[in-house]
Protein backbone atom coordinates (compact mmCIF):
# COMPACT_ATOMS: atom_id res chain seq x y z
CA UNK A 1 0.00 0.00 0.00
CA UNK A 2 1.29 3.44 -0.91
CA UNK A 3 1.82 6.15 1.64
CA UNK A 4 0.09 9.50 1.33
CA UNK A 5 3.40 11.05 0.30
CA UNK A 6 3.97 8.40 -2.39
CA UNK A 7 0.45 8.98 -3.75
CA UNK A 8 1.02 12.75 -3.80
CA UNK A 9 4.36 12.33 -5.60
CA UNK A 10 2.72 10.03 -8.15
CA UNK A 11 -0.12 12.52 -8.71
CA UNK A 12 2.37 15.39 -9.12
CA UNK A 13 4.38 13.31 -11.59
CA UNK A 14 1.26 12.43 -13.58
CA UNK A 15 0.14 16.07 -13.65
CA UNK A 16 3.59 17.24 -14.78
CA UNK A 17 3.70 14.62 -17.52
CA UNK A 18 0.16 15.51 -18.64
CA UNK A 19 1.04 19.19 -18.91
CA UNK A 20 4.21 18.48 -20.88
CA UNK A 21 2.34 16.08 -23.19
CA UNK A 22 -0.30 18.76 -23.88
CA UNK A 23 2.37 21.33 -24.74
CA UNK A 24 4.18 18.79 -26.91
CA UNK A 25 0.96 18.12 -28.83
CA UNK A 26 0.38 21.88 -29.28
CA UNK A 27 3.91 22.29 -30.64
CA UNK A 28 3.41 19.45 -33.13
CA UNK A 29 0.23 21.25 -34.24
CA UNK A 30 2.02 24.60 -34.51
CA UNK A 31 4.89 23.09 -36.51
CA UNK A 32 2.44 21.54 -38.97
CA UNK A 33 0.47 24.79 -39.08
CA UNK A 34 3.54 26.89 -39.90
CA UNK A 35 4.58 24.36 -42.56
CA UNK A 36 1.09 24.52 -44.08
CA UNK A 37 1.12 28.32 -43.95
CA UNK A 38 4.55 28.36 -45.63
CA UNK A 39 3.16 26.25 -48.47
CA UNK A 40 0.24 28.67 -48.91
CA UNK A 41 2.23 31.90 -48.65
CA UNK A 42 3.27 33.68 -51.83
CA UNK A 43 5.78 36.22 -50.54
CA UNK A 44 9.33 34.72 -50.36
CA UNK A 45 10.20 36.68 -47.21
CA UNK A 46 7.05 35.45 -45.52
CA UNK A 47 7.78 31.87 -46.62
CA UNK A 48 11.24 32.12 -45.04
CA UNK A 49 9.81 33.45 -41.79
CA UNK A 50 7.22 30.67 -41.62
CA UNK A 51 9.90 28.06 -42.30
CA UNK A 52 11.93 29.46 -39.37
CA UNK A 53 8.87 29.23 -37.13
CA UNK A 54 8.24 25.61 -38.11
CA UNK A 55 11.88 24.85 -37.23
CA UNK A 56 11.48 26.68 -33.89
CA UNK A 57 8.45 24.57 -33.00
CA UNK A 58 10.34 21.42 -33.98
CA UNK A 59 13.06 22.47 -31.52
CA UNK A 60 10.42 23.09 -28.82
CA UNK A 61 9.01 19.60 -29.47
CA UNK A 62 12.48 18.08 -29.14
CA UNK A 63 13.06 19.91 -25.84
CA UNK A 64 9.72 18.72 -24.45
CA UNK A 65 10.38 15.18 -25.70
CA UNK A 66 13.73 15.15 -23.89
CA UNK A 67 12.12 16.31 -20.63
CA UNK A 68 9.45 13.61 -20.89
CA UNK A 69 12.08 10.95 -21.49
CA UNK A 70 14.03 12.28 -18.47
CA UNK A 71 10.85 11.60 -16.49
CA UNK A 72 10.84 8.02 -17.85
CA UNK A 73 7.73 8.69 -19.92
CA UNK A 74 6.97 8.01 -23.58
CA UNK A 75 6.29 11.29 -25.42
CA UNK A 76 3.33 11.66 -27.76
CA UNK A 77 4.34 11.41 -31.37
CA UNK A 78 1.70 13.51 -33.11
CA UNK A 79 -0.56 16.53 -32.85
CA UNK A 80 -4.22 16.75 -31.95
CA UNK A 81 -7.49 16.34 -33.81
CA UNK A 82 -8.15 20.02 -33.07
CA UNK A 83 -4.91 20.92 -34.86
CA UNK A 84 -5.92 18.81 -37.84
CA UNK A 85 -9.28 20.57 -37.95
CA UNK A 86 -7.57 23.98 -37.74
CA UNK A 87 -5.33 23.12 -40.72
CA UNK A 88 -8.41 21.98 -42.66
CA UNK A 89 -10.00 25.35 -41.85
CA UNK A 90 -6.87 27.09 -43.14
CA UNK A 91 -7.15 25.04 -46.37
CA UNK A 92 -10.79 26.06 -46.82
CA UNK A 93 -10.11 29.71 -45.96
CA UNK A 94 -7.10 29.78 -48.30
CA UNK A 95 -9.18 28.32 -51.12
CA UNK A 96 -11.90 30.91 -50.61
CA UNK A 97 -9.52 33.86 -50.32
CA UNK A 98 -7.15 32.64 -53.02
CA UNK A 99 -4.29 31.87 -50.59
CA UNK A 100 -3.84 35.53 -49.72
CA UNK A 101 -0.81 36.08 -47.49
CA UNK A 102 -2.92 38.26 -45.21
CA UNK A 103 -5.27 35.34 -44.47
CA UNK A 104 -2.27 33.11 -43.75
CA UNK A 105 -0.89 35.69 -41.31
CA UNK A 106 -4.24 36.11 -39.58
CA UNK A 107 -4.30 32.37 -38.87
CA UNK A 108 -0.69 32.50 -37.64
CA UNK A 109 -1.60 35.29 -35.24
CA UNK A 110 -4.61 33.37 -33.98
CA UNK A 111 -2.53 30.22 -33.47
CA UNK A 112 0.30 32.06 -31.74
CA UNK A 113 -2.12 33.83 -29.38
CA UNK A 114 -3.55 30.43 -28.43
CA UNK A 115 -0.04 29.03 -27.86
CA UNK A 116 0.98 32.04 -25.78
CA UNK A 117 -2.16 31.73 -23.66
CA UNK A 118 -1.58 28.00 -23.16
CA UNK A 119 2.00 28.52 -21.98
CA UNK A 120 1.12 31.47 -19.76
CA UNK A 121 -1.77 29.62 -18.10
CA UNK A 122 0.32 26.54 -17.43
CA UNK A 123 3.20 28.61 -16.06
CA UNK A 124 0.84 30.52 -13.73
CA UNK A 125 -1.27 27.57 -12.58
CA UNK A 126 1.30 24.80 -12.31
CA UNK A 127 4.34 24.36 -10.12
CA UNK A 128 6.98 23.06 -12.52
CA UNK A 129 10.46 22.01 -11.39
CA UNK A 130 12.88 24.94 -11.93
CA UNK A 131 14.63 23.46 -14.97
CA UNK A 132 11.33 22.75 -16.74
CA UNK A 133 9.82 26.09 -15.74
CA UNK A 134 12.88 27.83 -17.18
CA UNK A 135 12.58 25.95 -20.48
CA UNK A 136 8.84 26.70 -20.73
CA UNK A 137 9.38 30.37 -19.89
CA UNK A 138 11.99 30.61 -22.65
CA UNK A 139 9.66 28.93 -25.14
CA UNK A 140 6.79 31.24 -24.13
CA UNK A 141 9.05 34.25 -24.59
CA UNK A 142 9.98 33.07 -28.08
CA UNK A 143 6.29 32.54 -28.93
CA UNK A 144 5.56 36.08 -27.76
CA UNK A 145 8.40 37.35 -29.96
CA UNK A 146 6.97 35.44 -32.91
CA UNK A 147 3.55 36.92 -32.25
CA UNK A 148 4.98 40.44 -32.28
CA UNK A 149 6.93 39.74 -35.47
CA UNK A 150 3.91 38.22 -37.24
CA UNK A 151 1.97 41.39 -36.52
CA UNK A 152 4.69 43.46 -38.22
CA UNK A 153 4.71 41.07 -41.19
CA UNK A 154 1.12 42.00 -41.96
CA UNK A 155 2.62 44.96 -43.84
CA UNK A 156 4.26 42.48 -46.24
CA UNK A 157 0.93 40.82 -46.91
CA UNK A 158 -0.70 44.11 -47.80
CA UNK A 159 1.70 44.67 -50.69
- Residue 55: predicted pLDDT: 97
34-58 pLDDT, tens digit each:
898 888 888 898 899 999 999 999 9
For the ranges 75-84, 118-127, 130-139, the lowest mean pLDDT is seen at: 75-84
Q: What single string gives the DSSP state of each residue in 40-71?
A: H---HHHHHHHHHHHHHHHHHHHHHHHHHHHT
Mean pLDDT across the stretch 133-152?
Answer: 92
CA 90/CA 16 separation, integer angstroms:
32
Rounded Cα distance between 115 and 26, Å, is 7
Closest of 82, 30, 87, 76 to residue 53, by C-alpha: 30
Instruction: Note the pTM of the prediction, 2 decimals.
Output: 0.84
What is the pLDDT averaged over residues 130-146? 96
Structural domains present in the chain: 4-157 (1.20.1260.10)
User: For 112-145, b where at least 16 C-beta lie within 10 A, e where not — what string?
Assistant: bebbbebbeebbeeeebeeebeebbeebbebbbe
**For residues 139 and 103, which has the higher predicted lDDT (pLDDT)?**
139
d(CA 79, CA 22): 9
What pLDDT is recorded for position 17?
Answer: 96
Amino acid sequence: MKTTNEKANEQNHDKLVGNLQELLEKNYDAQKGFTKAMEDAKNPRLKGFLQQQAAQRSRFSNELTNELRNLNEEPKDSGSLTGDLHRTWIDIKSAVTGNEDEAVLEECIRGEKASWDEYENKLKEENFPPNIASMLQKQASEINGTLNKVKTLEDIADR
